[in-house]
Amino acid sequence: MKVFLCGGGAGIQTIEANKRLNEVIDHSKPCLYVPLAMNQRMYPDCYEWIKDELKNVDIPYIEMVNSADELAAKNLNDFGVIFIGGGNTFKLLHDLKISGAFEKIKEYLNGEGVVFGGSAGAIIFGKDLEACRLDDTNEVNLSDIDGFDVLNGTSILCHYTNRTAEKDEESRQYLLEVSKHRKVVALPEEVTLFVNGEDMEVIGNRPYFFFENGAILKQNEE
């Protein structure tokens, strides 16, 4: 299992994460880009964004899916990396689950697959979506909010400490309450966690935070 959990950054914020990605992928295979967390009318702009974001990653080309059904029909082993982008996390997980793509991604990861998830694309790899309820609306009425759980019972929040002070304080108070019943890791946009089998590598030098038992623990301090 090789999963990059990016706090939602881009450009200069993800240079080091993309360098690390470049070190672990099969360079003979293309990238499959999944923009399903966004509104479909945004997909053309999303494709231009991903081409620029991965311009320094050695891949033959980037293929984008336009629906979860299209994703579910793919042979994922044809791709060196699946890049799952940001947007509404509930919409993303809903579409993956009703199409069957969720199980196919799980199988891909259990093999030699590599996934890079940014923002919503990272959050779905946590225990569940409970940590992002303040950030995203559940307009799709998703009831099964369980994610891939690659962090062994830890949920994920992204963009933490990159918003206004008021928003970050609101999130902090919410996560302190939520963490009485589950563990949460809150990532800034500049930090990516690389889960490589049983190991976890921290990419980026900004602090990130663990919430557990109603308390907060700062990580990655210099």
pLDDT tens by residue, 158-204? 999 999 999 999 999 999 999 999 999 999 999 999 999 999 999 99
CA 71 → CA 23, 120, 156, 206, distances in Å?
25, 17, 24, 34
- The answer to whether the beta carbons of residues 139 and 130 sit under 8 Å apart is no
Q: Within the chain, where are the H helices?
A: 15-24, 43-53, 68-73, 89-99, 101-110, 120-123, 165-178
d(CA 20, CA 147): 24
Determine the length of the chain: 222
* Rounded percentage of the chain residues whose pLDDT exceeds 70: 100
Write the CB contacts of 102 (distance below 8 Å, at least 6 apart in sequence).
93, 96, 148
Neighbours of 111 (CB within 10 A): 9
d(CA 67, CA 198): 32
- Which among 195, 204, 207 is positioned nearest to 117, based on CA atoms? 195
d(CA 167, CA 170): 5
Q: Does pLDDT of 222 surpass 80?
A: no
pLDDT tens by residue, 91-133? 999 999 999 999 999 999 999 899 999 999 999 999 999 999 9
